[in-house]
Amino acid sequence: MKTAVKLILAAVVLGLVFPAPALAADPDPQTAALYKSKCAACHGVDGKATAMGKKLNTRDFQDPEVVKMKDAELIDATTKGKGKMPGFGKSLKEEQIKSLVAFIRSLNAKK
């Protein structure tokens, strides 16, 4: 019995000294739905280009070149369009586009 108590206390102390890493927050349901309706057909639900997206030269969001892009670059590409991707600057509000970029970043955090 004493050994069990010591093990529990040790686990509690270790948990305080070495806390578990924080998990990424669940995305806003509206942003997730927006991503699904505007982006997922080419970029995939997990950020990996779909077969259709690959035919259009869509890059995976996990591609190191995309990962190192600044948020401003992703916002600009989403607003104005890039390659065969249409721009969404006229159909989405600036805050929606920023939320989409944050959502894209969260896809990499879930790897």
Provide the CATH number for the domain around residue 103: 1.10.760.10
Letter string b/e over residues 65-80, b meaning 16 or more CB atoms within 10 A of that residue's CB = ebeebeeeebbbbbee
pLDDT in tens, 9-37: 444 444 444 443 333 455 689 999 999 99
- Identify the pLDDT of residue 28: 87
Which residue range is the domain that position 98 belongs to?
A: 26-109
**Residue 55 within a domain:** yes
Please tell me the pTM assigned to this model: 0.73
Of the candidates 63, 92, 62, 51, the one whose C-alpha atom is nearest the C-alpha of residue 75 is 92
Q: Which stretches in the chain have pLDDT values below 70?
A: 1-27, 110-111
CA atoms within 13 A on the CB side of 63: 12
Count the domains in the chain. 1
**Residue 88 within a domain:** yes
Signed CA dihedral, 26, 27, 32, 38: sign only: negative
